[in-house]
Chains A and B, each alone.
Chain A
Amino acid sequence: MDFLLEGLLATTWKQLVMFGVGSLLIYLAITKKLEPALLLPIGFGAILVNLPFSGAVTQMMDGIGEVPGILDWLFNLGIEAAEAMPLLLFVGIGAMIDFGPLLANPKLILFGAAAQWGIFATISLATLLGFSLSDAASIGIIGAADGPTSILVSQVLGSKYIGPIAIAAYSYMALVPIIQPFAIKLVTTKKERMIKMPYNPRSVSKRAKILFPIIVTIVSGYVAPASVSLVGMLMFGNLIRECTVLDTLSTAAQTVLVNLITLLLGITIASTMKAETFVTLQTIMIMGLGLLAFIFDSIAGVVFAKILNLFVKNKVNPMVGAAGISAFPMSARVIQRMGLQADSQNHLLMHAVGANVAGQIASVIAGGVILGLVPGMI
């Protein structure tokens, strides 16, 4: 009867820690509603893969040999092979995005670029902490505030920290309403937060909305070819949305496709969360660096807006710069709320939405740029 106790006796303290981590993620997902669609599957998956001799992951069995596990199979097929899951998720995300606020106020796109600085600042910090350049770049991309981009970049660069990186990316996205006000208040005065911005959008034609995803794909493809898979899938989804002749496909991409991929993505990522590789000092450092990446992003966006204000007649509320991250629409809502806190008549929502949409474009471009540059520097 010893075989009944084999699993129990084989349990290590690191596996027990992982049960705790998994349970914590499930708790945060259910009770605190922190990105439940991702954190709950990741949490449950963390328990699944850390059960001794778990059949959910590939095992070597006496007399049989290698027995493939479903989670490893999903990871090999859906992420390792061609980053299919995060890329397909971008089709759905693209179908959800309305670039109208950006087309109506083009200068907001610049905030998307500025707020990516946090990625590179975090990469530099990570190298100082002893991470290799490819691992540092994978950690820095948490600052893209974009889960699928973080997963894709860390996978392509061959980082062994894909599990903690995914958890950090999704956790901090959910914590944007706490992180961003803190970061913004560090670098703005109340007077600056009270700056009002009139909203006079240009009308946007259907033709402009259709041409935008096509032209952006070609432009970014020529300048940063490595970004084509990311930008291309995002813009493909958006083209389906805007062409108005594929409404059923657009709806399917926004609902069925996104739900299906999300359902599988979290639990698949969990296959990388085996105790021996996850319970390390590096995981704690990655969680800390991820938090700093979000703070750096927000500060960079605010500082860029302040610099812009030196040259423009109509002043920009610096807080709008912080919305240039990809966490949509949380970041825009934070800016709107902070604007109203500073002055009850200060409505910044539409400007912040434009900057936030710009952040979604810029984050995938940043992912592509890193994929294009880092391999040549290793």
Chain B
Amino acid sequence: MQSLFNTSLILMGKGMLAIFVVIFLIFFVLLFLGKTKKKEE
């Protein structure tokens, strides 16, 4: 059980890292799309 719990903590670390990487990339997409609009204006 202890090793399964440790595995779940590793999953937590890897999972949150992956989610934040994807979300940060989307964040920059959002910033880029916002800038595109400003150039149009």
Q: Which residues of A contact B36 (CB under 8 A)?
A: 205, 207-208
A25 in contact (CB, < 8 A): no
Interface size on B, residues (CB 8 A): 30
Q: Are A215 and B29 in contact (CB under 8 A)?
A: yes
Interface size on A, residues (CB 8 A): 49
Q: List 6 A-B contacts (CB under 8 A).
A: A112-B23, A123-B11, A204-B37, A208-B34, A223-B21, A362-B19
The complex places the Cα of A102 from the Cα of B34 at a distance, in Å, of 11
A24 in contact (CB, < 8 A): no
B3 nearest in chain A by CB position = A127
**Interface class of chain A by DSSP:** helix
Q: Are A124 and B8 in contact (CB under 8 A)?
A: yes
A377 nearest in chain B by CB position = B7
Which of the segments A11-19, A258-266, A278-286, A368-376 contacts the partner chain? A368-376
Interface positions of A from 326 to 365, Cβ below 8 Å from B: 358, 361-362, 365
Q: Are B26 and A373 in contact (CB under 8 A)?
A: no
The complex places the Cα of A368 from the Cα of B30 at a distance, in Å, of 21
Chain B 3-20, CB-CB to A under 8 Å as 1, else 0, gives: 011011111101110111
Chain A 210-249, CB-CB to B under 8 Å as 1, else 0, gives: 0110011001100110010000000000000000000000
Q: Are B19 and A212 in contact (CB under 8 A)?
A: no
Pick the residue among A128, A137, A212, A361 that contacts B33 (CB under 8 A): A212
The complex places the Cα of A132 from the Cα of B24 at a distance, in Å, of 31
Q: Are A120 and B12 in contact (CB under 8 A)?
A: yes
Q: Are A128 and B23 in contact (CB under 8 A)?
A: no
Q: Which residues of B contact A202 (CB under 8 A)?
A: 34, 37
Pick the residue among A130, A212, A223 that contacts B1 (CB under 8 A): A130
Q: Which residues of B contact A136 (CB under 8 A)?
A: 4, 8
